[in-house]
Chain A
Protein backbone atom coordinates (compact mmCIF):
# COMPACT_ATOMS: atom_id res chain seq x y z
CA UNK A 1 0.00 0.00 0.00
CA UNK A 2 2.91 2.27 0.68
CA UNK A 3 4.20 2.41 -2.85
CA UNK A 4 0.88 3.57 -4.17
CA UNK A 5 2.22 5.27 -7.26
CA UNK A 6 3.27 1.87 -8.47
CA UNK A 7 -0.35 0.86 -8.87
CA UNK A 8 -1.51 4.10 -10.38
CA UNK A 9 0.66 4.57 -13.46
CA UNK A 10 -0.97 7.86 -14.16
CA UNK A 11 0.73 10.13 -16.59
CA UNK A 12 3.86 8.07 -16.72
CA UNK A 13 5.04 7.65 -20.23
CA UNK A 14 8.05 5.66 -21.23
CA UNK A 15 10.59 7.63 -23.17
CA UNK A 16 12.36 4.89 -25.03
CA UNK A 17 12.73 6.62 -28.36
CA UNK A 18 10.78 3.92 -30.15
CA UNK A 19 8.99 4.53 -33.43
CA UNK A 20 5.67 4.91 -31.71
CA UNK A 21 6.98 7.23 -29.03
CA UNK A 22 8.34 9.55 -31.68
CA UNK A 23 5.14 9.85 -33.66
CA UNK A 24 3.28 13.13 -33.69
CA UNK A 25 0.69 13.01 -30.92
CA UNK A 26 -1.98 14.11 -33.34
CA UNK A 27 -1.42 10.96 -35.39
CA UNK A 28 -1.69 8.84 -32.30
CA UNK A 29 -4.81 10.57 -31.07
CA UNK A 30 -6.64 10.32 -34.38
CA UNK A 31 -5.48 6.75 -34.84
CA UNK A 32 -6.67 5.83 -31.37
CA UNK A 33 -10.09 7.36 -31.99
CA UNK A 34 -10.48 5.55 -35.33
CA UNK A 35 -9.51 2.23 -33.81
CA UNK A 36 -11.82 2.65 -30.86
CA UNK A 37 -14.77 3.45 -33.11
CA UNK A 38 -13.98 0.40 -35.20
CA UNK A 39 -13.73 -1.84 -32.18
CA UNK A 40 -17.16 -0.88 -30.95
CA UNK A 41 -18.62 -1.83 -34.31
CA UNK A 42 -17.02 -5.17 -35.01
CA UNK A 43 -17.98 -8.49 -33.52
CA UNK A 44 -16.77 -11.28 -35.78
CA UNK A 45 -13.76 -13.41 -34.78
CA UNK A 46 -12.06 -12.70 -38.11
CA UNK A 47 -12.26 -8.96 -37.53
CA UNK A 48 -10.81 -9.37 -34.05
CA UNK A 49 -8.02 -11.42 -35.58
CA UNK A 50 -7.16 -8.51 -37.87
CA UNK A 51 -7.11 -6.26 -34.82
CA UNK A 52 -4.83 -8.69 -33.06
CA UNK A 53 -2.36 -8.59 -35.92
CA UNK A 54 -2.40 -4.80 -35.82
CA UNK A 55 -1.82 -4.81 -32.06
CA UNK A 56 1.07 -7.19 -32.53
CA UNK A 57 2.72 -4.81 -34.97
CA UNK A 58 2.06 -1.93 -32.57
CA UNK A 59 3.56 -3.87 -29.69
CA UNK A 60 6.74 -4.61 -31.59
CA UNK A 61 7.15 -1.04 -32.74
CA UNK A 62 6.68 0.39 -29.27
CA UNK A 63 9.35 -1.71 -27.55
CA UNK A 64 7.42 -1.68 -24.31
CA UNK A 65 7.44 -4.79 -22.21
CA UNK A 66 4.24 -6.73 -22.82
CA UNK A 67 4.54 -8.23 -19.38
CA UNK A 68 4.28 -4.78 -17.82
CA UNK A 69 1.05 -4.01 -19.63
CA UNK A 70 -0.49 -7.36 -18.81
CA UNK A 71 0.51 -6.99 -15.19
CA UNK A 72 -1.18 -3.63 -14.99
CA UNK A 73 -4.36 -5.46 -15.92
CA UNK A 74 -4.24 -7.47 -12.73
CA UNK A 75 -6.34 -5.17 -10.56
CA UNK A 76 -9.10 -5.41 -13.16
CA UNK A 77 -9.00 -9.15 -13.72
CA UNK A 78 -11.46 -9.88 -10.94
CA UNK A 79 -13.80 -7.16 -12.12
CA UNK A 80 -13.76 -8.51 -15.66
CA UNK A 81 -14.51 -12.00 -14.47
CA UNK A 82 -17.48 -10.81 -12.44
CA UNK A 83 -18.76 -8.79 -15.40
CA UNK A 84 -18.49 -11.85 -17.63
CA UNK A 85 -20.38 -14.07 -15.24
CA UNK A 86 -23.15 -11.56 -14.71
CA UNK A 87 -23.51 -10.91 -18.41
CA UNK A 88 -23.77 -14.60 -19.18
CA UNK A 89 -26.27 -15.25 -16.45
CA UNK A 90 -28.55 -12.38 -17.32
CA UNK A 91 -28.48 -12.73 -21.08
CA UNK A 92 -31.95 -13.53 -22.39
CA UNK A 93 -31.73 -15.39 -25.69
CA UNK A 94 -34.42 -15.27 -28.34
CA UNK A 95 -37.27 -17.64 -27.43
CA UNK A 96 -36.86 -21.06 -28.95
CA UNK A 97 -33.06 -21.25 -28.74
CA UNK A 98 -31.77 -24.08 -26.56
CA UNK A 99 -30.56 -23.18 -23.06
CA UNK A 100 -27.84 -25.06 -21.24
CA UNK A 101 -29.14 -24.30 -17.79
CA UNK A 102 -32.01 -22.39 -16.34
CA UNK A 103 -33.05 -21.13 -12.91
CA UNK A 104 -35.53 -18.32 -12.16
CA UNK A 105 -34.39 -15.33 -14.25
CA UNK A 106 -30.85 -16.59 -14.71
CA UNK A 107 -29.82 -18.79 -17.62
CA UNK A 108 -26.77 -19.93 -19.46
CA UNK A 109 -26.85 -20.32 -23.23
CA UNK A 110 -24.23 -20.63 -25.93
CA UNK A 111 -25.32 -17.39 -27.42
CA UNK A 112 -24.89 -15.69 -24.10
CA UNK A 113 -21.42 -17.09 -23.60
CA UNK A 114 -20.29 -16.11 -27.07
CA UNK A 115 -21.60 -12.58 -26.79
CA UNK A 116 -20.07 -12.09 -23.36
CA UNK A 117 -16.72 -13.28 -24.63
CA UNK A 118 -16.98 -10.76 -27.45
CA UNK A 119 -17.59 -7.99 -24.93
CA UNK A 120 -14.62 -8.98 -22.82
CA UNK A 121 -12.37 -9.22 -25.85
CA UNK A 122 -13.50 -5.78 -26.93
CA UNK A 123 -12.78 -4.36 -23.49
CA UNK A 124 -9.32 -5.91 -23.51
CA UNK A 125 -8.50 -4.42 -26.89
CA UNK A 126 -9.78 -1.02 -25.84
CA UNK A 127 -7.74 -1.17 -22.67
CA UNK A 128 -4.66 -2.17 -24.60
CA UNK A 129 -4.98 0.64 -27.12
CA UNK A 130 -5.60 3.38 -24.59
CA UNK A 131 -2.76 2.15 -22.39
CA UNK A 132 -0.50 2.14 -25.41
CA UNK A 133 -1.50 5.69 -26.14
CA UNK A 134 -0.74 6.96 -22.63
CA UNK A 135 2.46 4.98 -22.30
CA UNK A 136 3.94 6.23 -25.54
CA UNK A 137 2.82 9.83 -25.33
CA UNK A 138 3.71 12.22 -22.53
CA UNK A 139 0.85 14.15 -20.99
CA UNK A 140 2.26 17.39 -22.33
CA UNK A 141 2.19 16.01 -25.84
CA UNK A 142 -1.28 14.56 -25.38
CA UNK A 143 -2.76 17.81 -24.19
CA UNK A 144 -0.87 19.85 -26.77
CA UNK A 145 -1.99 17.50 -29.51
CA UNK A 146 -5.56 17.66 -28.28
CA UNK A 147 -5.42 21.43 -28.23
CA UNK A 148 -4.20 21.62 -31.80
CA UNK A 149 -6.76 19.11 -33.04
CA UNK A 150 -9.62 20.89 -31.35
CA UNK A 151 -8.48 24.40 -32.23
CA UNK A 152 -10.98 24.77 -35.08
CA UNK A 153 -13.66 24.56 -32.40
CA UNK A 154 -12.02 27.50 -30.67
CA UNK A 155 -12.77 29.56 -33.72
CA UNK A 156 -16.40 28.61 -33.36
CA UNK A 157 -16.41 30.21 -29.97
CA UNK A 158 -16.05 27.12 -27.76
CA UNK A 159 -13.36 27.87 -25.13
CA UNK A 160 -11.17 24.88 -25.96
CA UNK A 161 -8.04 26.57 -24.63
CA UNK A 162 -9.58 26.97 -21.20
CA UNK A 163 -10.68 23.32 -21.13
CA UNK A 164 -7.25 22.16 -22.11
CA UNK A 165 -5.72 24.31 -19.40
CA UNK A 166 -8.00 22.70 -16.82
CA UNK A 167 -7.02 19.26 -18.09
CA UNK A 168 -3.33 20.09 -17.88
CA UNK A 169 -3.61 21.37 -14.35
CA UNK A 170 -5.75 18.40 -13.29
CA UNK A 171 -3.22 15.99 -14.74
CA UNK A 172 -0.49 17.84 -12.94
CA UNK A 173 -2.15 17.51 -9.59
CA UNK A 174 -3.22 13.87 -9.59
CA UNK A 175 0.31 12.59 -8.92
CA UNK A 176 0.60 15.18 -6.15
CA UNK A 177 -2.40 13.73 -4.37
CA UNK A 178 -1.11 10.21 -4.87
CA UNK A 179 2.16 11.26 -3.28
CA UNK A 180 0.36 12.87 -0.36
CA UNK A 181 -1.64 9.72 0.29
CA UNK A 182 1.56 7.72 0.28
CA UNK A 183 3.12 10.05 2.81
CA UNK A 184 0.13 9.96 5.11
CA UNK A 185 -0.08 6.19 4.98
CA UNK A 186 3.58 5.98 5.81
CA UNK A 187 3.27 8.40 8.72
CA UNK A 188 0.27 6.61 10.18
CA UNK A 189 1.84 3.21 9.72
CA UNK A 190 4.92 4.45 11.53
CA UNK A 191 2.73 5.42 14.47
CA UNK A 192 1.14 2.03 14.71
CA UNK A 193 -1.80 2.08 12.33
CA UNK A 194 -2.19 -1.18 10.45
CA UNK A 195 -4.04 -0.68 7.20
CA UNK A 196 -3.91 -4.30 6.23
CA UNK A 197 -5.78 -5.74 9.17
CA UNK A 198 -9.43 -5.88 10.09
CA UNK A 199 -12.49 -6.72 8.04
CA UNK A 200 -13.40 -4.84 4.90
CA UNK A 201 -15.51 -2.25 6.68
CA UNK A 202 -12.77 -1.41 9.17
CA UNK A 203 -10.20 -1.17 6.43
CA UNK A 204 -12.32 1.25 4.48
CA UNK A 205 -12.91 3.32 7.62
CA UNK A 206 -9.18 3.54 8.21
CA UNK A 207 -8.68 4.85 4.74
CA UNK A 208 -11.44 7.44 5.10
CA UNK A 209 -9.65 8.80 8.15
CA UNK A 210 -7.01 9.93 5.69
CA UNK A 211 -9.38 12.07 3.70
CA UNK A 212 -9.25 15.26 5.77
CA UNK A 213 -5.47 15.39 6.23
CA UNK A 214 -5.16 14.53 2.55
CA UNK A 215 -7.27 17.45 1.48
CA UNK A 216 -5.54 19.82 3.87
CA UNK A 217 -2.01 18.97 2.83
CA UNK A 218 -2.91 18.24 -0.76
CA UNK A 219 -4.58 21.58 -1.19
CA UNK A 220 -1.68 23.30 0.46
CA UNK A 221 0.65 21.85 -2.11
CA UNK A 222 -1.77 22.73 -4.85
CA UNK A 223 -1.83 26.29 -3.58
CA UNK A 224 1.97 26.52 -3.45
CA UNK A 225 2.20 25.24 -6.98
CA UNK A 226 -0.42 27.67 -8.23
CA UNK A 227 1.49 30.53 -6.63
CA UNK A 228 4.63 29.39 -8.41
CA UNK A 229 2.74 29.20 -11.68
CA UNK A 230 1.32 32.67 -11.23
CA UNK A 231 4.74 34.00 -10.31
CA UNK A 232 5.79 32.88 -13.77
CA UNK A 233 2.93 34.83 -15.30
CA UNK A 234 0.51 31.96 -15.86
CA UNK A 235 -2.92 33.32 -15.38
CA UNK A 236 -6.17 34.71 -16.62
CA UNK A 237 -5.87 38.20 -17.81
CA UNK A 238 -8.08 39.65 -20.49
CA UNK A 239 -6.77 38.70 -23.90
CA UNK A 240 -4.09 36.37 -22.56
CA UNK A 241 -2.75 33.86 -25.03
CA UNK A 242 -0.03 31.32 -24.39
CA UNK A 243 2.48 30.54 -27.09
CA UNK A 244 4.30 27.25 -27.50
CA UNK A 245 7.89 26.22 -27.80
CA UNK A 246 7.13 22.86 -29.33
CA UNK A 247 5.90 22.55 -32.81
CA UNK A 248 4.28 19.51 -34.28
CA UNK A 249 5.50 18.41 -37.66
CA UNK A 250 4.20 15.42 -39.55
CA UNK A 251 6.94 13.13 -40.72
CA UNK A 252 7.03 10.16 -43.04
CA UNK A 253 6.59 7.86 -40.06
CA UNK A 254 3.32 9.60 -39.27
CA UNK A 255 2.02 9.09 -42.79
CA UNK A 256 3.03 5.46 -42.65
CA UNK A 257 1.38 4.96 -39.30
CA UNK A 258 -1.77 6.74 -40.43
CA UNK A 259 -1.95 4.64 -43.58
CA UNK A 260 -1.51 1.41 -41.65
CA UNK A 261 -4.14 2.37 -39.12
CA UNK A 262 -6.66 3.29 -41.76
CA UNK A 263 -5.91 0.07 -43.63
CA UNK A 264 -6.42 -1.93 -40.46
CA UNK A 265 -9.71 -0.23 -39.74
CA UNK A 266 -10.99 -0.89 -43.25
CA UNK A 267 -9.84 -4.49 -43.04
CA UNK A 268 -11.58 -4.94 -39.73
CA UNK A 269 -14.86 -3.47 -40.90
CA UNK A 270 -14.86 -5.42 -44.15
CA UNK A 271 -14.05 -8.78 -42.57
CA UNK A 272 -16.68 -8.09 -39.98
CA UNK A 273 -19.40 -8.07 -42.57
CA UNK A 274 -18.29 -11.17 -44.44
CA UNK A 275 -21.09 -13.63 -43.82
CA UNK A 276 -19.92 -16.65 -41.89
Chain B
Protein backbone atom coordinates (compact mmCIF):
# COMPACT_ATOMS: atom_id res chain seq x y z
CA UNK B 1 0.00 0.00 0.00
CA UNK B 2 1.10 3.48 -0.78
CA UNK B 3 1.74 5.37 2.43
CA UNK B 4 1.06 9.07 2.33
CA UNK B 5 2.47 11.29 5.05
CA UNK B 6 -1.00 11.85 6.59
CA UNK B 7 -1.46 8.08 7.03
CA UNK B 8 1.71 7.86 9.07
CA UNK B 9 0.77 10.80 11.25
CA UNK B 10 -2.83 9.66 11.64
CA UNK B 11 -1.76 6.18 12.70
CA UNK B 12 0.78 7.58 15.13
CA UNK B 13 -1.82 9.94 16.58
CA UNK B 14 -4.44 7.20 16.81
CA UNK B 15 -2.06 4.82 18.53
CA UNK B 16 -0.96 7.48 20.99
CA UNK B 17 -4.62 8.40 21.64
CA UNK B 18 -5.55 4.80 22.24
CA UNK B 19 -2.58 4.15 24.51
CA UNK B 20 -3.20 7.37 26.44
CA UNK B 21 -6.84 6.37 26.93
CA UNK B 22 -5.77 2.95 28.20
CA UNK B 23 -3.18 4.52 30.45
CA UNK B 24 -5.86 6.82 31.86
CA UNK B 25 -8.19 3.86 32.43
CA UNK B 26 -5.47 1.76 34.10
CA UNK B 27 -4.31 4.67 36.26
CA UNK B 28 -7.87 5.26 37.39
CA UNK B 29 -8.34 1.57 38.18
CA UNK B 30 -5.11 1.33 40.15
CA UNK B 31 -5.61 4.58 42.05
CA UNK B 32 -9.28 3.98 42.95
CA UNK B 33 -9.24 0.21 43.24
CA UNK B 34 -12.74 0.37 41.74
CA UNK B 35 -13.64 -1.57 38.65
CA UNK B 36 -17.16 -0.19 38.18
CA UNK B 37 -16.28 3.48 37.98
CA UNK B 38 -18.75 3.80 35.08
CA UNK B 39 -21.93 1.84 34.45
CA UNK B 40 -20.91 1.17 30.85
CA UNK B 41 -17.84 -0.78 31.98
CA UNK B 42 -20.09 -3.67 33.02
CA UNK B 43 -23.82 -2.82 33.09
CA UNK B 44 -24.93 -6.19 34.49
CA UNK B 45 -22.35 -6.05 37.28
CA UNK B 46 -23.33 -2.48 38.16
CA UNK B 47 -26.99 -3.53 38.32
CA UNK B 48 -26.07 -6.49 40.50
CA UNK B 49 -24.10 -4.13 42.74
CA UNK B 50 -27.30 -2.14 43.30
CA UNK B 51 -29.09 -5.28 44.45
CA UNK B 52 -26.17 -6.35 46.63
CA UNK B 53 -26.05 -2.94 48.30
CA UNK B 54 -29.78 -3.21 48.88
CA UNK B 55 -29.37 -6.65 50.47
CA UNK B 56 -26.56 -5.38 52.66
CA UNK B 57 -28.72 -2.49 53.86
CA UNK B 58 -31.49 -5.00 54.60
CA UNK B 59 -29.12 -7.28 56.52
CA UNK B 60 -27.85 -4.30 58.44
CA UNK B 61 -31.43 -3.52 59.39
CA UNK B 62 -32.06 -7.13 60.48
CA UNK B 63 -28.97 -6.89 62.65
CA UNK B 64 -30.29 -3.70 64.25
CA UNK B 65 -33.66 -5.40 64.78
CA UNK B 66 -32.06 -8.50 66.29
CA UNK B 67 -29.93 -6.37 68.62
CA UNK B 68 -32.88 -4.29 69.74
CA UNK B 69 -35.16 -7.34 70.01
CA UNK B 70 -32.50 -9.30 71.88
CA UNK B 71 -32.19 -6.56 74.47
CA UNK B 72 -35.98 -6.46 74.84
CA UNK B 73 -36.22 -10.23 75.28
CA UNK B 74 -33.32 -10.35 77.73
CA UNK B 75 -34.85 -7.64 79.90
CA UNK B 76 -38.18 -9.52 79.77
CA UNK B 77 -36.46 -12.79 80.65
CA UNK B 78 -34.46 -11.40 83.56
CA UNK B 79 -37.60 -9.64 84.85
CA UNK B 80 -39.50 -12.93 84.79
CA UNK B 81 -36.56 -14.69 86.44
CA UNK B 82 -36.69 -12.14 89.28
CA UNK B 83 -40.46 -12.58 89.35
CA UNK B 84 -40.09 -16.36 89.70
CA UNK B 85 -37.71 -15.97 92.65
CA UNK B 86 -39.97 -13.40 94.30
CA UNK B 87 -43.05 -15.58 93.92
CA UNK B 88 -41.15 -18.57 95.31
CA UNK B 89 -40.13 -16.46 98.30
CA UNK B 90 -43.74 -15.25 98.75
CA UNK B 91 -44.78 -18.91 98.67
CA UNK B 92 -42.19 -19.64 101.42
CA UNK B 93 -43.59 -16.79 103.51
CA UNK B 94 -47.09 -18.14 102.90
CA UNK B 95 -45.99 -21.63 103.94
CA UNK B 96 -44.53 -20.14 107.13
CA UNK B 97 -47.81 -18.31 107.76
CA UNK B 98 -49.70 -21.58 107.29
CA UNK B 99 -48.04 -22.82 110.49
CA UNK B 100 -50.53 -23.00 113.36
CA UNK B 101 -47.93 -21.85 115.91
CA UNK B 102 -47.62 -18.31 114.52
CA UNK B 103 -48.65 -15.60 116.88
CA UNK B 104 -50.25 -12.37 115.73
CA UNK B 105 -46.94 -10.54 115.61
CA UNK B 106 -45.20 -13.02 113.40
CA UNK B 107 -48.25 -13.21 111.10
CA UNK B 108 -48.24 -9.43 110.82
CA UNK B 109 -44.49 -9.47 110.04
CA UNK B 110 -45.11 -12.08 107.35
CA UNK B 111 -47.99 -10.02 105.98
CA UNK B 112 -45.86 -6.90 105.65
CA UNK B 113 -43.09 -8.98 103.99
CA UNK B 114 -45.63 -10.27 101.46
CA UNK B 115 -46.98 -6.74 100.95
CA UNK B 116 -43.52 -5.45 100.13
CA UNK B 117 -42.93 -8.37 97.79
CA UNK B 118 -46.25 -7.62 96.12
CA UNK B 119 -45.05 -4.06 95.58
CA UNK B 120 -41.90 -5.45 93.98
CA UNK B 121 -43.99 -7.69 91.72
CA UNK B 122 -46.02 -4.65 90.65
CA UNK B 123 -42.84 -2.83 89.87
CA UNK B 124 -41.64 -5.81 87.80
CA UNK B 125 -44.95 -5.87 85.92
CA UNK B 126 -44.41 -2.22 85.10
CA UNK B 127 -40.83 -2.67 83.88
CA UNK B 128 -39.85 -0.05 81.28
CA UNK B 129 -37.30 0.09 78.51
CA UNK B 130 -36.65 3.65 77.43
CA UNK B 131 -39.99 4.72 78.84
CA UNK B 132 -41.98 1.83 77.31
CA UNK B 133 -43.96 -0.45 79.60
CA UNK B 134 -42.83 -3.75 78.13
CA UNK B 135 -45.64 -5.92 79.57
CA UNK B 136 -48.49 -3.64 78.50
CA UNK B 137 -49.11 -5.12 75.06
CA UNK B 138 -49.41 -2.19 72.68
CA UNK B 139 -50.44 0.25 75.46
CA UNK B 140 -46.78 0.90 76.17
CA UNK B 141 -47.17 4.50 77.20
CA UNK B 142 -49.03 3.76 80.43
CA UNK B 143 -48.32 1.26 83.25
CA UNK B 144 -49.31 -2.35 82.54
CA UNK B 145 -50.89 -2.79 85.98
CA UNK B 146 -52.41 -0.29 88.34
CA UNK B 147 -53.59 -1.08 91.85
CA UNK B 148 -56.99 0.00 93.15
CA UNK B 149 -58.28 -1.18 96.54
CA UNK B 150 -55.36 -3.56 96.86
CA UNK B 151 -56.22 -5.27 93.55
CA UNK B 152 -53.85 -5.02 90.59
CA UNK B 153 -55.67 -4.66 87.29
CA UNK B 154 -54.18 -5.10 83.82
CA UNK B 155 -54.38 -1.88 81.77
CA UNK B 156 -52.72 -3.15 78.63
CA UNK B 157 -53.97 -5.24 75.72
CA UNK B 158 -53.02 -8.57 74.18
CA UNK B 159 -51.07 -7.17 71.27
CA UNK B 160 -47.78 -8.99 70.73
CA UNK B 161 -45.39 -7.20 68.36
CA UNK B 162 -43.12 -9.12 66.11
CA UNK B 163 -39.79 -8.01 64.76
CA UNK B 164 -38.29 -8.92 61.42
CA UNK B 165 -34.92 -10.65 61.74
CA UNK B 166 -34.54 -12.03 58.24
CA UNK B 167 -36.56 -12.25 55.06
CA UNK B 168 -39.67 -14.15 56.04
CA UNK B 169 -38.67 -14.72 59.68
CA UNK B 170 -40.30 -12.78 62.49
CA UNK B 171 -39.87 -13.20 66.20
CA UNK B 172 -42.26 -12.19 68.98
CA UNK B 173 -40.83 -9.20 70.73
CA UNK B 174 -43.05 -8.61 73.76
CA UNK B 175 -45.09 -10.69 76.17
CA UNK B 176 -48.44 -9.09 76.99
CA UNK B 177 -48.34 -9.02 80.82
CA UNK B 178 -51.89 -10.18 81.47
CA UNK B 179 -51.23 -13.88 80.95
CA UNK B 180 -48.13 -14.05 83.09
CA UNK B 181 -48.75 -11.46 85.82
CA UNK B 182 -52.52 -11.72 86.45
CA UNK B 183 -52.40 -15.27 88.00
CA UNK B 184 -49.41 -14.19 90.09
CA UNK B 185 -51.22 -11.09 91.37
CA UNK B 186 -54.35 -13.12 92.09
CA UNK B 187 -52.39 -15.73 94.11
CA UNK B 188 -50.27 -13.24 96.04
CA UNK B 189 -53.17 -10.85 96.73
CA UNK B 190 -55.40 -13.63 98.08
CA UNK B 191 -52.50 -14.99 100.19
CA UNK B 192 -51.86 -11.51 101.58
CA UNK B 193 -55.52 -11.06 102.48
CA UNK B 194 -55.57 -14.51 104.15
CA UNK B 195 -52.37 -13.85 106.13
CA UNK B 196 -53.63 -10.42 107.18
CA UNK B 197 -56.86 -11.98 108.45
CA UNK B 198 -54.98 -14.98 109.94
CA UNK B 199 -57.40 -17.37 108.19
CA UNK B 200 -55.42 -20.64 108.07
CA UNK B 201 -57.68 -22.47 105.64
CA UNK B 202 -57.72 -19.43 103.30
CA UNK B 203 -53.88 -19.31 103.51
CA UNK B 204 -53.69 -22.98 102.53
CA UNK B 205 -56.14 -22.66 99.68
CA UNK B 206 -54.41 -19.55 98.28
CA UNK B 207 -51.04 -21.37 98.42
CA UNK B 208 -52.67 -23.89 96.08
CA UNK B 209 -52.85 -21.23 93.32
CA UNK B 210 -49.07 -20.73 93.28
CA UNK B 211 -48.03 -23.82 91.37
CA UNK B 212 -50.04 -22.96 88.25
CA UNK B 213 -48.94 -19.28 88.43
CA UNK B 214 -45.30 -20.35 88.64
CA UNK B 215 -45.78 -22.86 85.82
CA UNK B 216 -47.09 -20.03 83.59
CA UNK B 217 -44.01 -17.91 84.40
CA UNK B 218 -41.80 -20.84 83.44
CA UNK B 219 -43.67 -21.49 80.20
CA UNK B 220 -43.30 -17.87 79.18
CA UNK B 221 -39.61 -17.90 80.05
CA UNK B 222 -39.16 -21.00 77.95
CA UNK B 223 -40.80 -19.18 75.03
CA UNK B 224 -38.48 -16.20 75.58
CA UNK B 225 -35.52 -18.59 75.57
CA UNK B 226 -36.62 -20.06 72.24
CA UNK B 227 -36.99 -16.58 70.75
CA UNK B 228 -33.60 -15.49 72.05
CA UNK B 229 -32.17 -18.63 70.43
CA UNK B 230 -33.81 -17.64 67.12
CA UNK B 231 -32.22 -14.20 67.37
CA UNK B 232 -28.78 -15.65 67.94
CA UNK B 233 -29.20 -18.04 65.02
CA UNK B 234 -30.38 -15.15 62.87
CA UNK B 235 -27.37 -13.04 63.84
CA UNK B 236 -25.00 -15.82 62.86
CA UNK B 237 -26.87 -16.28 59.59
CA UNK B 238 -26.75 -12.53 58.92
CA UNK B 239 -23.00 -12.52 59.40
CA UNK B 240 -22.52 -15.44 57.01
CA UNK B 241 -24.76 -13.77 54.41
CA UNK B 242 -22.98 -10.47 54.87
CA UNK B 243 -19.62 -12.09 54.30
CA UNK B 244 -20.76 -13.80 51.14
CA UNK B 245 -22.37 -10.62 49.77
CA UNK B 246 -19.22 -8.61 50.50
CA UNK B 247 -17.12 -11.29 48.82
CA UNK B 248 -19.36 -11.09 45.78
CA UNK B 249 -19.19 -7.28 45.79
CA UNK B 250 -15.46 -7.32 45.96
CA UNK B 251 -15.38 -9.90 43.18
CA UNK B 252 -17.37 -7.76 40.78
CA UNK B 253 -16.45 -4.31 42.08
CA UNK B 254 -12.78 -4.44 42.97
CA UNK B 255 -9.94 -4.17 40.57
CA UNK B 256 -7.60 -7.14 40.30
CA UNK B 257 -4.61 -5.09 41.44
CA UNK B 258 -1.87 -7.39 40.16
CA UNK B 259 -3.45 -7.49 36.72
CA UNK B 260 -4.21 -3.76 36.72
CA UNK B 261 -0.67 -2.79 37.71
CA UNK B 262 0.84 -5.05 35.11
CA UNK B 263 -1.55 -3.60 32.51
CA UNK B 264 -0.52 -0.13 33.62
CA UNK B 265 3.19 -0.77 33.18
CA UNK B 266 2.61 -2.58 29.88
CA UNK B 267 0.68 0.40 28.58
CA UNK B 268 3.36 2.79 29.77
CA UNK B 269 6.04 0.82 27.93
CA UNK B 270 3.90 0.60 24.81
CA UNK B 271 3.27 4.35 24.94
CA UNK B 272 6.97 5.14 25.30
CA UNK B 273 7.80 2.77 22.44
CA UNK B 274 5.15 4.35 20.21
CA UNK B 275 6.41 7.84 21.02
CA UNK B 276 10.03 6.88 20.34
CA UNK B 277 9.19 5.02 17.14
CA UNK B 278 6.99 7.86 15.95
CA UNK B 279 9.70 10.41 16.57
CA UNK B 280 12.32 8.29 14.82
CA UNK B 281 10.32 7.34 11.78
CA UNK B 282 9.03 10.82 11.10
CA UNK B 283 12.44 12.38 11.56
CA UNK B 284 13.67 11.90 8.00
CA UNK B 285 12.42 11.96 4.47
CA UNK B 286 14.06 12.06 1.10
CA UNK B 287 14.43 15.84 1.21
CA UNK B 288 17.18 15.44 3.79
CA UNK B 289 19.32 13.79 1.14
CA UNK B 290 18.69 16.15 -1.78
CA UNK B 291 21.51 18.54 -2.33
State whether these chains interact.
Answer: no
